[in-house]
Chain A
Amino acid sequence: MEKLTIKTVLATLLVLAVGFSGQVQAQFQSDFQIKQNFDRDHAEILDALKTVQTNEEVNQLIEDLNEMERRYRDDASMLNRVLYPETVQNRMTNLRELAQATGVHISRIGEKGDTVVVLEERIAELTTDATRYQARADSLNTELEAMRRSRNANAAQARRLRQELDKRDAFIINMVDSIFVAYENVDLQSLSPAERRGLVLEIDAQNVLGHIESVVDNNISFLNTHTELSTEDFLKLYAVQVEFDRMWENMGHDLAEIYVSETRRSERLGAIVEKVDEWQMLIDDAAWTTLRDGFSQNNIELAPFRNSLEFYTSLNTYLDEAIARAEDNGSEEELETYQHFADFWFSDVKPRWQPHLINANLMTYENFNTIDEKLTEWKLQAQPTSYTLLILLGLAIILALVFLALWILARGQNSRPVERR
Chain B
Amino acid sequence: MVSMKHLRLLGNISAAMLLVFAVACGPSLTLTDVDYAQPMESVASPDQDGNVQDVRLGVSFNVTPLNVKERGEGASLPEEVRFIRSRDGYYFVTAPGYNNVYVFEAKERVLDLHEIIRVSGAGLANPAFNQRSPYIQLIDGDVEYRLTKDGLAN
Contacts and interface: CB of A to CB of B under 8 A. Distances in A.
B144 A27 contact: yes
Interface in A12-55: 24, 27-33, 35
A259 B140 CA distance: 61
A30 B131 CA distance: 10
A31 B40 contact: yes
Using C-beta atoms within 8 Å of the partner chain, give the interface range for chain A. Answer: 10 to 19
Given A82-B39, A82-B40, 7 more contacts: A28-B141, A28-B143, A29-B139, A33-B128, A35-B40, A78-B131, A81-B39
Interface of B is mostly: strand
Contacts of A27: 144
Top 8 nearest A-B pairs (CB, nearest first) are: A30-B128, A81-B39, A28-B139, A82-B40, A31-B40, A31-B130, A82-B39, A32-B41
Contacts of A30: 41, 128-130, 139
A33 B128 CA distance: 9
Contact of B40 (A28, A29, A78): A78
7 contacts: A27-B144, A30-B128, A31-B39, A31-B128, A31-B130, A32-B43, A82-B39
B39 A32 contact: no
Contacts of B130: 30-31
A261 B62 CA distance: 54
Contacts of A78: 39-40, 131
Contact of B144 (A28, A31, A32, A35): A28
Contacts of B41: 30-32
Contacts of A32: 40-41, 43, 82, 128-129
Nearest to A27: B144
Interface residues of B, number: 14
Interface of A is mostly: helix
B142 interface: yes
Nearest to B140: A28
Interface string B32-59: 0000000111010000000000000000
Given A78-B40, A81-B39, A82-B39, A31 B131 contact: yes
Interface in B102-154: 128-131, 139, 141-144
Interface in A181-237: none
Contacts of A81: 39-40
A82 B40 CA distance: 7
Contacts of B40: 31-32, 35, 78, 81-82
Contacts of B139: 28-30
B9 to A, nearest CB: 62
A118 B2 CA distance: 116
Contacts of B129: 30, 32
Contacts of B39: 31, 78, 81-82
Contact of A28 (B43, B82, B131, B142): B142
Nearest to B130: A31
A78 B144 CA distance: 19
A81 B143 CA distance: 25
Interface string A62-94: 000000000000000010011000000000000
Interface string A368-389: 0000000000000000000000
Which interface residue of A30, A33, A78 has the most chain B CB atoms within 10 A?
A30
A82 to B, nearest CB: 5
Nearest to B41: A32
B119 to A, nearest CB: 14
Contacts of B142: 24, 28
Contacts of A28: 139, 141-144
